[in-house]
Structure 1
Amino acid sequence: MLNSAQAKESTSKSPLPQQLNLLDSIIQSSYDGIFVADATGVGWTMNEAYTRITGVSKSELLYRDLKDAIKEGIISDSVTYRVLEEKRAITIVQNVNGVEVLATGSPVTDDEGKITHVVTNIRDLRDLNYLKSELNASRAFTDNLLKEFSQRSGEEEINPHLKGMITRSKEIRKALSIAKKVAKVDSTVILTGESGVGKEVFADFIHDHSRRKGKAYIKVNCAAIPAALLESELFGYEKGAFTGAVNNGKTGLFEEANGGTIFLDEIGEIQFELQVKLLRVLQELEIKRVGGTRQIPLDIRIITATNQRLEKLVEQGKFREDLYYRLNVVPIDIAPLRERTSDIASLANHFLKRLNQKYDMNKTLHPEVLPVLENYSWPGNIRELENVIERVAVTCDQDEIVPSELAILNKDKASNSSKSSENKSLKEQVYRLEVDMIQIALKKHLTTRKAADSLGISQSTLVKKMKRFHLSSQEYVHD
C-alpha cells in the first residue's frame, strides 16, 4: 500500500508538465464525473464534476488506496478493482458518500496490453431518474392532448390551409392539434418522421403560433455544417479563440436566436462530444462562447427534428441518454405520405397551382392522375411529390397532365420487375393477379360488359377497378 508521498512521487514520473496540464483541462471540462486511478488502485486524479455530484473532495480519494476509502464508507464498492481483476470495462451502481451513481470503469493499456490506469465515469442516478419521470409526464401530457382532440374534434377543426399546412388527414390534424397547443408554451418539442414529411413546416407553424412570433427564428441543419465547425457556429467564439478566428470574435446562432426560437434540424447527427454542451444549454439556458469565460443567459424556444430513431442511437451509445430525455419533452411524430393518402390530391393541386402562377402556365391534372399518385409509395414523401409535379408540369407539352407522363410509373414498373413473387406481400400478389385477369379478359372479349361477365362481376365494378388499377378504358367498348 502506498502512502501519500509515494503516490505523488509515482505520478510525478508521468508525462511532461504541459501534457499533464492539457490532460487535466480535458478532464475538468467534462460534465460527467471522472476519476482516474493507477494500476495499483491508488487515486491519480479527478475532476470538479465528481465532487459536484458526490460531495467527495479530492483529499478524500486521491493519492490513497481505494480499499481504504471503502473501509471508511466513502464508496460502497470499487469499480477500479473490478476492472483490474476482470481486465475489461465494467459498469456498476455505486454509492459514493450517500449518493447513488452509475459508474463505468474503463481500462487504459500500454503498448504491451498491460493495464496502466482505470478511468471511471459517473452519472448521478437521481438526474437520470428525474429525466425519466419528466419523459413519462410528457408522454402523459401528449396522451391527454390526443384524448382531448378526439373528444373535441367536432367542436374545433384546424383549418387545412393554414400557412404552409395543407392537410385533410386525421393523422396530421392530430399532430397539428398538439403543435397548436404546445406553441403557447416554451416546452422543448422534438419533431420525428421520415425525410421529406414536413418537419420544418411544423417548426414554422409552432413558431408562428407562439408568443415569440415576429422575433428571431433561426434554422440550423446540424447535418449540413461540418462537425468541426458546428460548435463555433452554435456557440460563437471570442477573439483569438483558435487559428483563423475572426479578430473581433463571432456571435453564435444561439445568441442570434435570443428572445425567439431556434430550430435544430437533424439533431441526431450532432457529434457525441458536442451533445454534453447542448445538454447544458437545455438545462441551464445559458452558453459560453468558444474560448470565452463568461456565461451568456438565453431566453429562447428550442425545437428539434430528426428522421432517426434516437432511442436506437442511445442503445448503440451514439446519443446521450440524458440529452434524449431532455429533448423528448413533447414529441410530435409526423406520418409519412403513404399513410395519409387523403392529403395527396390537395398537395398535388397546391403545387401545380403555385407553378402555374410562377411560370404563367395553365396546367391541369387528368382525373386518372390522382389514383396513380395515391397508389405510389412516395419514399421521398412530400418533397418527392413536389418534385414530381414540378418535373411533369415543366416537361409536359399539353396543358392536361395524363398518367403516362408521370415518371413514378416507370419507378413502380422497375420495382415490380425486380421483385420475385415470394418477396411480395399477399396484398401485392392479389393486386397483380386482379390486374392480369382483367387485362386478359379485356383482350379476349374487347368490351367491358363481356369481360365483366367472364370475370363474374358487374360492368360498373370492372370499370371502377380499371380506374383504380390505372388501366385505360378508352380503347374498349362499353356496351
Structure 2
Amino acid sequence: MKLANHLLSILESLHDAVLVIARDSTIVYINNAYSVQFGVPADKLIGRKLSKVEPKARIHDVLKNGQPLINDYSYLHSLNIHVFANITPLIENGELIGAVAIMKDISEFYALQDELERYKTYSTRLEEQLHNKIFEMLESHVPVMRQAVHIARQVAESEATIMLYGETGVGKEVFARAIHEASPRRDREFVAINMASLPESLFESELFGFEDGSFTGSRKGGKKGLLELAEGGTLFLDEIGELSLFLQAKLLRVLQERLFRRVGGTNPVPLNVRIIGATNRNLNKMMETGAFRNDLYYRLHVVPIHIPPLRERKPDLPLLIHTIMGDLSMKYGKHITLTQEVYEMFEQYDWPGNVRELGNVLERMTAICPRSYFVPDDVPESIRQEREAEKMEDTTPIYEGGIGLPGAIEQTEKEMIIEALRVSRTKTAAIERLGISRKAFYQKLKKYGLL
C-alpha cells in the first residue's frame, strides 16, 4: 500500500493525529501530530501490527465489517489516554485495503469531567451539611418541638404553602428562614412582611409597588413592591391574623390568581414565590366569629406547623442559652458563663416572651456584666421577684393539729387542677375551665409537682 506524496503533505499539515493501517493491521503511517501528541516516534510504530500494540483498538472493528465509526470515543491502553476519533475504511477498486483514524486526545476533558464530578459530590455534601446546620438552631429535646422541626425539614424541598402557629417570640421567623434556606429557592430573596405593621392606606403600594406618577408624592420612576422583591424566593407573611377583612380579600385574590398589578399600572405581574404565613392568633376561632375568611384560611393552611412556647420546652434551655451566648460572645467580644443558681432562676421562670425574651435578657446581662460569669444580681428584677414569690409560697407553715386553712386551700386547689387536667383535652382547655391565667396555671403545676 503506497500513499501519494501530495496526500502525505496534506496529512502532515493536520493538527489532529492520523493513523493508517493495512488490511492485515500493519501500521503503514502516522503523521507528525500523532508523534507529538502521543509521544511516539514514527519509526517505533510503522511496520508493527496494531493488533499487537493495541488489541482492543476500535479501528479493528472497521477492518472487520467495513463500516466507519464517526465521533467515536475509546480508551487506548497502550498510550493510557482517551481519544475521540473518526475511523474510515479505505476502499480501492471496491476492495477493503485498510483503514484510517483521525484522532484527538480528550484525556484532559475526561480529567475535567472527573474533577467536575468530585466537585458535584463535594457540593452535595456541603449542601447536606448546610441543610443540617440551618436546623441546628432549632434542635430540641422536647418531642413536640422535634416534631415541628421534622415537618419543617420534610416540606422545605417542596413548594407547599406553610402556616406557622405559635405565641409571640417563639421563633416563627427563624423557622421560616430555615425552611427557605433548605429549599430550592435558597439563592433568591427571603422577604418578611409584618402584616400588622402595614397601614390599610399603604397596603397595596407597599405590597404591589406603584408606577411613576400613580399618586401625588409617589417616587419618580415608580417602586417595586415586596411581592416583586421576593420574586423566585420566599414570602413570609407574619401576623397574618391581624389583617382586616378588606385586606384579606385583596391578599386572597393575589394568592389565587398568582398575579398582581402595581398601583397605577395595567400590566399583570406574575407571582412566583413560596408562601409561608405565621400568626399567634387562633384562626379557627376567628373564622367562627367571621374575623378571618374561610377561603383565605384554607389557601394558607396547607401544612400547619405548631411551635410550642418556651415554658413547654424547658429542657431546651441549655441548648438555647448556648446558641444565644455564642452569638453574643462574638457580638460583644467577651465570653460569659451562667452559674447554677442563675440557670435555676431561668428554669423556674415561665418566659412569657418566649425565646425572644430569653435572647433579650441574655443580651442585656451580657452588655452590663463586668465578670466572666453571671450572678443572680445580673438577672433582671422581674425574674428575681417571681423567684422570691415562689420561695415564699413554698414556705407556707403547716399548723399543729392539722393542715390548717392554707393547707386545706392548697389541697383543694391541687385536686381541682388534677380534675381539670383529667377532663380537658388540652392544657389550654384546662386553663379556661379553671378561670386562671396561663402564667398562674403553670406556676401551680410546678408548685404541686404536676408538670
Q: TM-score band, normalised by the shorter chain? A: 0.5 to 0.7
Measured after TM superposition, the shift of residue 258 of structure 1 is 1.3
The aligned residue for residue 318 of structure 1 is: 291
2:209–2:225 Cα contact (<8 Å) kept:
yes
Aligned to 1:224: 197
**1:57-456 equivalent positions in 2, closer than 5 A:** 162=135, 164-407=137-380, 408-412=382-386, 426=413
8 Å Cα contact 1:241/1:290 also seen in 2:
yes
What amino acid is the match of 2:226?
L
Q: Name structure 2 gaps, 5 residues minimum.
A: 1-130, 397-405, 418-445
Percent of aligned positions with the same letter in both sequences? 46
Instruction: Give the Cα–Cα distance (whole angstroms) in 2 for the partners of residues 288 and 187 of structure 1.
Output: 24
CA displacement 1:299-324 (0-9 Å, x = unmatched): 11011111111122222222211111
Residue 251 of structure 1: CA displacement?
1.5
Quote how far apart the aligned CAs of 1:411 are. 4.0
Q: What TM-score does the superposition give when structure 1 sets the normalisation length? A: 0.52
- What whole-Å deviation, never above 9, does each CA across 1:188-235 have from its counterpart, x for those lacking one? 111110000000000001101111111122111112232211221111
- 361 and 232 in structure 1: CA distance in 2 versus 1, 3 angstrom threshold: same
Change in CA separation of 1:233 and 1:418 when aligned onto 2, cut-off 3 Å? farther
Q: How far apart, in 2, do the equivalents of 1:308 and 1:328 lie?
A: 13
Which structure has the bigger radius of gyration?
2
Describe the shift of the 1:428–1:266 C-alpha distance in structure 2 as closer, same or farther (beyond 3 A). Answer: farther
* Cα 1:322/1:262, change in 2 over 3 Å: same
**Superposed displacement of residue 368, structure 1:** 2.7
Residue identity matched to 2:179: I
Matches within 5 A, 1:17-36: none
Instruction: Give the secondary structure class of the aligned counterpart of 1:175.
Output: helix
* In structure 2, C-alpha distance between the alignment counterparts of 1:355 and 1:428, rounded to whole Å: 44
Number of aligned residues? 275
Change (3 A) 1:227 1:411: farther
Tell me if the contact between 2:349 and 2:387 (Cα under 8 Å) persists in the aligned partners: no
1:264 positional shift: 0.9
Q: Is the 8 A contact 1:160 1:168 kept in 2?
A: no
Contact 2:138 2:149 in 1 (8 A): no
Distance in 1, matches of 2:356 and 2:411, equals 27
User: Aligned partner of 2:201: which letter?
Assistant: A
User: Does the Cα contact within 8 Å between 2:134 and 2:178 map onto a contact in 1?
Assistant: no
Q: CA offsets per residue over residues 217-265 of structure 1, 9 Å max, x none?
A: 2111112232211221111122332222223222111111111111111
Distance in 1 (alpha carbons) for counterparts of 2:246 and 2:238: 18
- What's the secondary structure of 1:262's corresponding residue? strand
**1:429 & 1:418 partners in 2: Cα distance?**
22
SS at match of 1:227: coil
CA distance in 1, matches of 2:368, 2:208: 46
Q: CA deviation at 1:328?
A: 0.7
Match of 2:83 in 1: none
Question: Which one-letter code corresponds to 1:318 in the other structure?
Answer: A
For the 8 Å contact 2:348–2:387, the answer to whether it is kept is: no
Distance 1:268 1:391 in 2: 31
| Matching residue's letter, 1:388 | V
What TM-score do you get using the length of structure 2 for normalisation?
A: 0.56
Instruction: Indicate conservation of the 8 Å contact 2:161/2:302, yes or no.
Output: yes
Q: CA deviation at 1:182?
A: 1.0
Do 2:337 and 2:372's aligned partners in 1 also have CA atoms closer than 8 Å? yes
- State the distance in 2 between where 1:241 and 1:332 align: 40
In the alignment, the residues of structure 2 paired with residue 251 and residue 191 of structure 1 have an alpha-carbon distance, to the nearest angstrom, of 27
Do the aligned residues in 2 keep the contact of 1:203 with 1:303 (CA within 8 Å)?
yes
Contact 1:272 1:319 (8 Å CA) reproduced: yes
Across the aligned residues of Structure 1 and Structure 2, the Cα RMSD in angstroms comes to: 3.1
Contact preservation (8 Å) 1:160, 1:166: no
Letter in 1 for 2:232: G
Residue 394 of structure 1, CA deviation: 2.6
1:171 is matched by which residue type in structure 2? V
Q: Give the Cα separation in 2 of the matches to 1:425 and 1:340.
A: 28
Task: State how far apart, in whole Å, the 1-side matches of 2:341 and 2:416 are.
Answer: 23
